[in-house]
Structure 1
Amino acid sequence: MGVTKEQVEASLTSKLKPTHLEVTDTSGGCGASFDVEIVSEQFEGKRLIERHRMVNAALEEEMKEIHALSIKKAQTPQQWKPSPESATPTTTTHA
């Protein structure tokens, strides 16, 4: 029996207290493969590899049944904020 998206979300939420969490079951519903985007204050001061290890540790029980876990983003709330460039107006030139 596979792991559900809800189980992955519950484990990550209880252990890493994310401010943003997006879990996608990419296995077609059998619970063997997931994509994760997670934003947590607990990632402050941690290198990317340490953040990935934290996610894997939070899913220790689930990983016994998950075949593939792709961590698309593991960011701090500060990193998650939209970049200022996206709000910069474009300039028009006059001929």
Structure 2
Amino acid sequence: MISPDQVATMIKAGLPDADVQVQDLTGGGDHYQVVVVSSDFAGRSLVQQHQMVYGAVREAMSSEAIHALALKTYTPDAWAAVQSA
């Protein structure tokens, strides 16, 4: 089992400027929903953004410490637009 804080720490290690919100979807410590806001996503496709996040948690995914990860990724501008909508 891996904690939401550990998931956030892994993502921030790969994307140091990221604002990360992690929610445990089942209470079992292996199914998470994650919102990541990072300026590193600028100019990248949604697939590329998700690949960047998956790269940061690759080890936990491959060991099945994280079984499922639902991602929402945003640039800071896109996140601001979502928040004001």
Query: Structure 1: which 4+ aligned runs deviate by more than 6 Å?
Result: none
Structure 1 unaligned runs (5+)? 87-95
Q: Does 1:80 align with 2:79?
A: yes
CA deviation map 1:3-36 (0-9, x unaligned) = 11111010111211244211001121x2110000
Q: What letter matches 1:50 in structure 2?
A: Q
User: TM-score, normalising length from structure 1?
Assistant: 0.77
CA 1:27/1:10 → structure 2, altered by over 3 Å: closer, same or farther?
Answer: same
Cα-Cα RMSD: 1.7
Distance verdict in 2 for CA 1:52–1:33, change over 3 Å: same
The count of aligned residue pairs is 82
Is the helix fraction higher in 1 or 2?
2
Gaps of 5+ in 2: none
SS at match of 1:27: coil
Where does 1:1-95 land on structure 2 (aligned, <5 Å)? 2-28=1-27, 30-63=28-61, 64=63, 65-71=65-71, 73-82=72-81, 86=85
Query: CA offsets, 1:62-94, max 9 Å, x none?
Result: 1122111000x20111111136x74xxxxxxxx
What TM-score comes out, normalization by structure 2 length?
0.85
Amino acid corresponding to residue 34 of structure 1 in structure 2? Y
Partner of 1:42, secondary structure, is helix
